Structure 1
Amino acid sequence: MWKTVEKILKEKGISVYKLSKMTDIPDNTLRNYRLKKSDPSFTNACKIADALNVKLDDLRERK
């Protein structure tokens, strides 16, 4: 999921720090998602999708 989030962040010119402020998800938690130390909960995935104005399904990485 995070590869897709990073792509959208880059397209929209949003930093991880700004995403943290938009979602009320701690910056450190977002960085852990980025480093694949943990996966976002459903609630946090929804917050990220809402902040980026995309559908939750758009964040899925299909294999």
Structure 2
Amino acid sequence: MWHQIESIMKLNNINQRQLAKKMQVSPGTLTELKKGRIKKPSFDLMCKFADALDVSLDEFRKKEDKPCNH
């Protein structure tokens, strides 16, 4: 998931610190996700990512390496 977020950050020319500020979360929260310590981010956190990066939540539903199980 971090790879998706990082790609969108690059497209928007925004760094991790700026994103955290826009999301109103601590930079440590993003670091935890980046390092894989947050395995299943909350819906609220994902909404903050989507709003801050100006993308749909659907962007984060796309799996990088395995299909979505519904």
- Quick check: TM above 0.5? yes
Structure 2 unaligned regions, length at least 5: none
In structure 2, the residue matched to 1:38 is 38
With normalisation by structure 1, the TM-score equals: 0.91
Give the conservation status (yes or no) of the 8 Å contact 1:4–1:60: no
How many residue pairs get matched? 63
- Structure-to-structure mapping, 1:21-60, within 5 angstroms: 21-39=21-39, 40-60=41-61
Give the conservation status (yes or no) of the 8 Å contact 1:23–1:51: yes
C-alpha separation between the residues in 1 aligned to 2:2 and 2:62?
A: 9
| 3-state secondary structure, aligned to 1:45 | helix
RMSD after superposition? 1.0
Compare relative contact order (CA 8 Å, sep 6+) and give the higher one, 1 or 2: 1
Identity %: 38
Of Structure 1 and Structure 2, the greater helix share is in 1
With normalisation by structure 2, the TM-score equals: 0.83
Runs of 4 or more above 6 Å deviation: none
Q: Deviations over 1:10-46 (max 9, x none)?
A: 1111001000000111100111000101132110110
Structure 1 unaligned regions, length at least 5: none
